[in-house]
Amino acid sequence: MKLLKIGISGVRGIVGESITPRLVMDFAGAFGTFVNAKPVLVARDTRISGPMLHAACASALLSSGCSVLDLGVCPTPILQLLVKPLRAMGGISITAGHNDIRWNALTFVSRDGTYLNSFQGAEVLDIYHLGKFKKVTTDHLGRIKDAERAADTYFEKLADFINAASVAKAGLKVVIDACNGAGAPFLGRLAETLGFELIPINHEPNGFFPHDPEPRPRNAQQVVSIIKAVGADVGFLLNSDVSRVSIVTEMGESLSEEFTFPLVANDLLKDQCGPVITNLSTSRMIEDVTRSRNCPLIRTKVGQSYAIQSLLQENGVMAGEGSGGVALAKFQPAFDGFLTMGAILEAMARRGKKISELVEELPRYHIVKEKIYCPPTKIHSVVNEVKRFFHKHDLDTSDGIRVEDKHGWVQVRTSGTEPMIRIIAEDRAKDRARQRADEVIHFINLIIK
Amino acid sequence: MKKVSSLKISISGVRGMIGDSLTPQLAAAFAQAFGTYVGGGPVIVGRDARPSGTMIEQAVIAGLLAVGCQPVDVGVCPIPSFLFLTKESKASGGVAVTASHNPKDWNGMKFISRDGLYLTPHQTEEFLDIYHQGEFYLVEPERYKGLRSEPNPVEPHLKKLLSHFDVESIFRKRFKVAMDCGNGAGAVLAPRLLGALGCQTVFIHAVPDGSFAHHPEPLPENITEICRTVRHQKADVGFVQDADADRLAIVNEKGEPLGEELTLALAVQYMLGKNPGPVVCNLSTSQAIDDIARLSGAPVVRTRIGEINVVDKILAMDPRPVIGGEGNGGVILPDIHPCRDSFTAMCIILEYMAASGKTVSALQKGLPKYFMIKEKVEGSAEQAYRLVNLLKKKYEGQGKMDLRDGLKIQMKDHWIHVRPSNTEPIIRIIAEARRPEIARAAVRRLKRQIAAFRQKM
């Protein structure tokens, strides 16, 4: 079975199997038809397959009459922010985020700089399935324009938004592991903009990932091993397109990626109150934080597109996910790793506290995340059957199945990006979290067999 | 007549119309088939100056990367420089995005072997088999090769030209040259070459943007502007390149076009004067070539129409021919590279002018005088085949017949040639004689005959 995941705002697969020039051109042609011969931003992360997808996208966009504003290797949140100032009708970011090097994907960005919502995504998909792409004659073809300099605009906006003066005054020393991804070429700019001392690791944008580009403790060994030795104040891990961040404390503790969002929220909600958006798989930490600040918390399905749509509809303050993605409405409606790091550094500087002290302010939960391979053709029916296991409980079925009680919760859902069933369990007590997950996993294994 | 198909897949590559048949998907599929055929390695990718070149080039790059090749992007590049680079750089092959002299709305791809030559008919067959089977060798990303770019792809070609020709004697003359690059790829190299040869230059249409101020085929009716320029600027010679810079037309110092047949004739006269040896050209090329070669005692070998046929013959012959080419302004000098090359042609003409001390019009006077008529009538390849059989009977015993490409009949004071076009659903008629009225009469007679045969065709 070839792996191909078509989501609301993009298409993801394994290069050489499902990701072929033809497929990329058909999707980019559908997107070009959707935006109807207007300029489109194109960026990619550092994956070695990136230039193939980039060339295929460019060709198909030109053919549909769209000009290509080429950002080269560039993080998705920078592309998203630039859509409006560059007067583009949308963007395509070529990145598979946290997936390993075999994968690549197209993410479609709307004229507002957000991931396509479900209506826009459905329209692109309809055009794709119809297979009738706009084809213009020679005189109406688009052109490729180099837009790499436009990233300056992003850092100017970031400098305006974050209180760089106070960050600079704190004299922070920061380790960042860019996993040789799209963030790598921009780390120096970030440090300059925010005024911290940078110790970069894995900052060669060469497309070889030294570890899986997923910011989480098991990929944090390198940061952990140096952070005390160099006397850094904090360490960060980025995914390949800088939409997710995880944190390592100055003590060398690698925090679960679940901490990133509540850490930012805990500080930000002191100054501004309003709805906070998260998904159904995210830790309860955020519930405690929002409750203490009297802000409403809204839970959506998993995926940046859902969270951001809700953020805009509910006029929210911020949105975030347990995977380490955080969006602040006042900056831009997008999960933005550079902004996230900036917000955390600002909190440390402003409050004069160490990162470990800020973490101490958060309640501690234990979260267990597991995944089980399941053939894509029966994945939904398997998840559906899990209802039988929980027949005595109240079920939340807005994204898979979620069961909650006083002490914790467990969720079973299909992955949006891989043919996997994800099981997430959380509890105050470590062994109970483990037990919640293990019971369901056992049941699922019986069904699959 | 049936509608002209907007997609042509033939021994000269793929051609199609932008916004219609030639899509990114099609271009990428051909590139994947080609990458599979050459089995990986570096593949040179370039384009002529057409505005649609970038779109097709990007598709070709995507296709090559997907099958594990390393595309070497050379951007806008004249085709002879491209072929030379492919050979010199030891690449696995090349894909040139070009539609030669077709109008602006067309584009296409030519596929080039590791020797820097267009694929032979046999190679094309193998390659097209892979395309039609549609099973390309897609590699996993661990085996992807990066994309390279070559900012100065004309350098090896320029060096070769400057080391081969007598630069010093041309330089001393300080010729004034009016040059029309036709907004084609030739503009990338022409200023550098003429500068290195010490020429004073007046350029028109020298921005390689494919805007094609005039039709990109250097026929006399398309080049009136350069003729004026030669007169006004009092230039010693005027040159006109076609869109991909393989063909050259010449204008004398009086501002009169020589006619495309005379480019090869002049070149052959000079080259054989230096070094007598065999000449190769196609069946439709002027008889002037035979007269010139006879003076040097050199044999002339004729081939079917199509550059690859001339080149194949050149490569197969021993001793190696001195020069070859086509009557359309395509000059091939095997010592440089076995391909049509407008830059080589310019060097030959300038060296001839320098060595002889004569004006172009004086050199023109020294050539045998012939009058050629080229016409076409509607008709498919199938109809052309029937027509040839009918004409063969009709003209029985009136001359020496050659059936290698349609029908060519050599008569006492003229010859006629009837053949199907390789690129369009038409039948070409060519006649040549020393006197215009004889050529005209031969064409009239032939066309009458064809009209009479219409029902049987």
Interface membership of A254 toward B (CB under 8 Å)? no
Q: Can you tell me the mean pLDDT for B306-317?
A: 93
Indicate yes or no: CB of B62 within 8 angstroms of CB of A55. Answer: yes
Alpha-carbon distance of A138 to B139, in angstroms, equals 33
Best of A4, A17, A52 to mutate (most B CBs within 10 Å, chain B) = A52
Taking 90 as the threshold, does the pLDDT of residue B453 lie above it?
Answer: no
B226-251 burial: b if 16+ Cβ within 10 Å, else e? bbebbbebebbbbbbbbbbbbbbbbb
pLDDT of residue A377: 85
Chain B residues in contact with A20 (beta carbon < 8 A): 66, 138
Interface membership of A104 toward B (CB under 8 Å)? yes
For residue B182, give the nearest of B203, B200, B167 by alpha carbon: B203
State residue B287 phi and psi, 5-degree precision: -70, -15
Taking 50 as the threshold, does the pLDDT of residue B1 lie above it?
Answer: no
Edge-to-edge strand list for the sheet holding A408-414: A366-373, A420-427, A408-414, A401-404
Q: What are B69's two structure tokens?
A: 């090749």
Interface membership of A101 toward B (CB under 8 Å)? yes
pLDDT grade for B5, boundaries at 50, 70 and 90: low
Rounded to two decimals, the pTM is 0.91
* Helix or strand (DSSP H, E) at A35: helix A21-35
Q: Can you tell me the mean pLDDT for B243-259?
A: 94
DSSP assignment of B343-395 equals HHHHHHHHHHHHHH---HHHHHHTSPP-EEEEEEEE--HHHHHHHHHHHHHHT
Annotated catalytic residue B100: yes
Indicate yes or no: CB of A51 within 8 angstroms of CB of B139. Answer: no
B23, B50, B59: residue with CB nearest A135? B23
Q: Among B81, B92, B100, B284, which one carries the catalytic annotation?
A: B100
Interface membership of A143 toward B (CB under 8 Å)? yes
What residue type is B373 in one-letter code? I
Q: Is the peptide bond before B319 cis (omega within 30 degrees of 0)?
A: yes
Note the Cα A221 to chain centre separation in Å: 21
Indicate yes or no: CB of A60 within 8 angstroms of CB of B24. Answer: yes
Residues on chain B bordering chain A, Cβ-to-Cβ distance under 8 angstroms: 18-20, 23-25, 27-29, 31-32, 50-52, 54-56, 58-59, 61-63, 65-66, 104-105, 138-142, 144, 146-147
* Helix or strand (DSSP H, E) at B105: none
pLDDT of residue A169: 96
Alpha-carbon distance of A192 to A172, in angstroms, equals 12
Chain A residues in contact with B148 (beta carbon < 8 A): none
Q: Can you tell me the mean pLDDT for A403-428?
A: 90
pLDDT of residue B2: 43
Alpha-carbon distance of B442 to B230, in angstroms, equals 35
Interface membership of A24 toward B (CB under 8 Å)? yes
**Inter-residue contact B154 to B81 (CB < 8 Å):** yes
- Number of A:B CB contacts under 8 A? 113
Q: pLDDT tens across A132-143, in order? A: 999 999 999 999
Q: What are A317's two structure tokens?
A: 């303050």
Interface membership of A2 toward B (CB under 8 Å)? no
Average pLDDT value over all residues in chain A: 94
For residue A198, give the nearest of A211, A209, A216, A184 by alpha carbon: A184
Q: pLDDT tens across A329-369, in order? A: 999 999 999 999 999 999 999 999 999 999 999 998 999 99
Indicate yes or no: CB of A62 within 8 angstroms of CB of B54. Answer: yes
3-state secondary structure of B445: helix
ipTM: 0.89
Q: Is B401 exposed, middle or buried (0-12, 13-18, 19+ CB in 10 A)?
A: middle
Indicate yes or no: CB of A25 within 8 angstroms of CB of B24. Answer: yes
pLDDT of residue A215: 96
**B143 CB neighbour count, 10 Å cutoff:** 11
Give the percent of chain A with pLDDT over 90: 86
For residue A137, give the nearest of B51, B85, B131 by alpha carbon: B51
Q: pLDDT tens across A33-54, in order? A: 999 999 999 999 999 999 999 9
Note the Cα B217 to chain centre separation in Å: 10
Indicate yes or no: CB of B51 within 8 angstroms of CB of A58. Answer: no
pLDDT of residue B134: 86
pLDDT of residue B4: 54
Chain A residues in contact with B28 (beta carbon < 8 A): 21-22, 25, 56, 59
Å between A40 CA and nearest CA of chain B: 15
**A352 CB neighbour count, 10 Å cutoff:** 9
Indicate yes or no: CB of A63 within 8 angstroms of CB of B55. Answer: yes
